[in-house]
Amino acid sequence: MTKPKPSGFTHESPKSKSISWYTPPEVFDALNLIYDLDPCSPGLDKSFVPALACYTEADDGLTSPWHGLTWVNPPYDNTRTWLRKLAAHGNGIALVFARTDTAWFHEAAATADVVCFVSGRIRFYQGDMVTRGGSPGSGSMLLAYGTEAADAVRASGLGMCFVRS
């Protein structure tokens, strides 16, 4: 008899009670920006992201055209593709898990203007925007592309920042 292959990390539950987890408002307060676009949005009325426009899953933000300053908190099953699009766009901030051992991290860190390892762990909100989750299984980082985004991340006080030279 074979044992089922475990999924996820041994210290993390492979399944979550909530499919969507929302970035808390204090992250946006620290960054002090208004975004032109959130291409990974559940909808402007269902998110804390201070964005003027959004794409939802139905719009397919990955294949739709991006404009202006962009906030990207991508679905974590396709991080590399979303980060490649942000790098090509060149104007925005991505919030992702700090998975420094992954190939996508090394690719993204080499192209970002600023990489910021967030101090502590961000306690995200569940999809109801009221209930906060516990401590996630990993820390987070911000990847900034473009002068406005890079300046905001460095000034945010959210963590330790590294500037690409």
pLDDT digits (tens, 9 = 90+) for 95-143: 999 999 999 999 999 999 999 999 999 999 888 889 888 777 789 999 9
Instruction: Flag whether the pTM goes above 0.85.
Output: yes
Q: Is 94:78 a contact under the CB 8 Å cutoff?
A: no
Banded model confidence at residue 2, pLDDT cuts 50, 70, 90? very low
Q: Which residues pair with 66 in a beta bridge?
A: none
Residue 67 domain boundaries = 21-163
Residue 64: left (phi > 0), alpha (psi -120 to 50), or beta? beta
- Tell me if 152 is assigned to some domain: yes
For residue 9, the model assigns a pLDDT of 34
For residue 133, the model assigns a pLDDT of 82
The CATH number that applies at residue 67 is: 3.40.50
pLDDT digits (tens, 9 = 90+) for 67-98: 999 999 998 889 999 999 999 999 999 999 99
Q: Which two tokens stand for residue 5?
A: 């292959």
Task: Provide the domain count of the chain.
Answer: 1
Residues above pLDDT 70, as percent of the chain: 88
Asked if residue 11 has pLDDT above 70, the reply is no
For residue 165, the model assigns a pLDDT of 78
The stretch 42-51 carries a mean pLDDT of 94
Considering the chain, what is the average pLDDT of its residues?
Answer: 88
- Tell me if 41 is assigned to some domain: yes
- Tell me if 15 is assigned to some domain: no
DSSP letter for each residue of 24-57: -HHHHHHHT--BSBBTT-S-GGG----BS-B--T
